[in-house]
Amino acid sequence: MKFQYRAALSCALFVATLPMAQAEIPVEFSGEVALTTDYVFRGISFSDENFAIQGEFDATHSSGAYIGVWASNISGLPEGGSVELDVYAGYAGKINNFGYDVFVTRFIFPGTGEDDTTGKNHHYFDFHEYTLALSYSLPVGTEFGVRYDYAPNWYGNSTGFANNYLLNVSHPLPNGFSVGASLGRQDFSQDLTNHPDVGYNDYTYYGAQVAYTYKDFTLALDFIDTNARDANGSSVDGTEERVVFTLTKTF
């Protein structure tokens, strides 16, 4: 659940005889924890198609500015690493039925950028990304969204820059149900089909979702697929079609 934080500054801390003065700073905190059968990022499994536990915490000012952190266990990175930590900051708002969100995210993969005992420099997976997201809501509750992400050094420092384009739509149903669908395209500045840490090039990903929300809990069923292929034209592990269940608890 979300709650309001009020920071109070009291003059009585300094002069006991003076009345208390309060400077109110409205900041809303929120968070969530989730258990998912597969951590999927833009159609690609980051948990080696296994379960993942995830958590998020945000602080949002009444002006629309916000900061937050998100974390998940991961598996399958070529040079180790078991945790992903995302730190982000941005500004969001709404004008009538139009919504906007501009933010930057730093993707951090601890343990993948250090030298091992042989002196070999591990591939450094950390990268940052700039995002612009726009939305439009209909009176019936249907919401359409479009999003663009730009990463100067996607997935580390040896893959060049990357662009991500995403379209999505969602619609609420009676009794706490909702449905949604998405279509995205991930493009790279270099051909990564023979890259030792990637193994695929530009690809399209898409999905559909049915979700049920009861109080602070949401159970979602997602169908996800991509057309990612390796140098031989074969599907890549972790990119094939799958069904993912996720249970989320918000605070």
**Is residue 119 classed exposed, middle or buried when 0-12, 13-18 and 19+ CB atoms within 10 A define those classes?**
exposed
The tokens for 163 are 């662009």
Which residue range forms the structural domain that includes residue 147?
Answer: 3-250
CATH of residue 234's domain is 2.40.160.40
Sorting pLDDT into bands at 50, 70 and 90, what band is 39? Answer: very high
Residue range 69-81: mean pLDDT, rounded:
84
100-142 pLDDT tens trace: 999 999 999 887 765 555 444 555 688 999 999 999 999 999 9
**Amino acid sitting at position 72:** S
Specify the pTM: 0.85
Q: How many domains does the chain have?
A: 1
- Residue 9 pLDDT greater than 90, yes or no: no
